[in-house]
Amino acid sequence: MWQYITTVFQQLRVWDVVDIAIVAFVIYKLAMLIRGTRAVQLIKGLAVLLIVTLLSDWMGLNTINWLLNQGLTVGFVALPIIFYPELRRALEQLGRGKFFKTSYLQPEQLEDAIGEVTESVIYMSKKKRGALIVWEQETGLSEHAESGIEIDAKTTSQLINNIFYDKAPLHDGAVIIRGDRVVAASCYLPLSDNTGISTELGTRHRAGLGISEQSDAVVIIVSEETGAISIAKNGKFTRYLDEKTLREMLISELQKNQQKQTNIFPWR
């Protein structure tokens, strides 16, 4: 076995290695592109159909196998239509030269963003100004960001305060942050179906809990009625946070994810 592996590697040319590396990189970038969108669920569905088709063929279930094969044929023809938004986004990024860029956030940049968000949240809490801030982690939130208004600006307390000013046009909905940048504002989020949520919590808290149930995002909520600060993570609330606790929780959760990405891509 070892001799066979050695022979294979000896037969590989330099250009073969380059070829494999390029294909692997493109597949990785495509996976990052569809992360957090409905395309992921569609791909999972197609994978299940493909596995069931192979099993039906192996078990000799001819009728089922024929029906599944017809369904897969139609499905593959419809793929360009189904994945139209993702294909359009990929071509746009390719045209802008962003497709092959790999962004990496320095620790000090993340700390600055945490400081700006903390300052803004404490200010809005004192003013009893409702706010919903979603900090994206490994699970992409592109689909939810596209439901709002694109911002793509560096995270600052002034920007967040202006967005959630009660007479501003973008104050309804959520702000989504990726790294140290505000991606979009006025975004729609799925509401939680959890029946155990306190009746004193309104739509803003249900939306914050809902997105935390469906992703690994860190969600900050400021109550408009009481000014209380809460964090939703993994479908659970941590409420009545002060400035110190809020900052410590954000640093703990966000730097944990940042360290994980650094370990995966140490060369960045």
Q: CA 218 → CA 10, 128, 237, distances in Å?
A: 48, 21, 11
d(CA 185, CA 193): 24
Neighbours of 182 (CB within 10 A): 23
Pick the CATH number of 107-264 from 3.40.190.170, 3.40.50.2000, 3.20.19.10, 3.40.1700.10: 3.40.1700.10
d(CA 185, CA 137): 17
Angle at 253 (CA atoms; ends 209, 226), nearest 5 degrees: 45
Q: CA 146 → CA 142, 169, 173, 214, 258, distances in Å?
A: 6, 17, 12, 17, 24
Cα torsion 111, 155, 258, 135: sign: positive
Give the tens place of pLDDT for each residue, 119-136.
Answer: 999 999 999 999 999 999
Q: CA 95 → CA 25, 30, 88, 91, distances in Å?
A: 18, 15, 11, 6
Local confidence pLDDT in tens for the 268 residues of the chain = 566 556 655 555 666 677 777 888 777 766 766 665 556 667 777 788 888 888 888 888 888 888 888 877 777 777 677 666 666 656 655 655 555 554 556 788 899 999 999 999 999 999 999 999 999 987 778 888 989 999 999 999 999 999 999 889 999 999 999 999 999 999 999 999 887 888 788 899 999 999 998 888 999 999 999 999 999 999 999 999 999 999 999 999 887 766 555 444 443 3
d(CA 11, CA 6): 9
Q: CA 194 → CA 84, 198, 221, distances in Å?
A: 33, 10, 17
Q: Which residue has the tokens 């569905």?
A: 45
Start-to-end C-alpha separation, the chain: 35
d(CA 178, CA 224): 24
Strand order in the sheet with 174-178: 149-154, 181-187, 174-178, 131-135, 218-222, 229-233, 236-238
Give the tens place of pLDDT for each residue, 72-122.
Answer: 777 777 767 766 666 665 665 565 555 555 455 678 889 999 999 999 999
Q: Where are the domains of the chain?
A: 2-96, 107-264
Counting Cβ atoms within 10 Å, is residue 242 exposed (0-12), middle (13-18) or buried (19+)? exposed
